[in-house]
Amino acid sequence: MPIGKVFIFIGIAFILVGLLWTFIGKLPGDISFKRGNFSFHFPIVTSIIISIFLSMILYILGKIK
Establish if 64 belongs to a structural domain.
yes
- For each successive 10 residues of the chain (65 residues), what is the average pLDDT? 82 84 75 90 83 86 76
Q: Is residue 4 in some structural domain?
A: no
CA 20 to CA 57: how far, in whole Å? 15
Helix, strand, coil shares, percent, the chain, to 5: 65, 15, 20
pTM above 0.85, yes or no: no
- Which residue segment(s) compose the domain that 61 sits in? 22-31+40-65
Q: Is residue 26 part of a domain?
A: yes
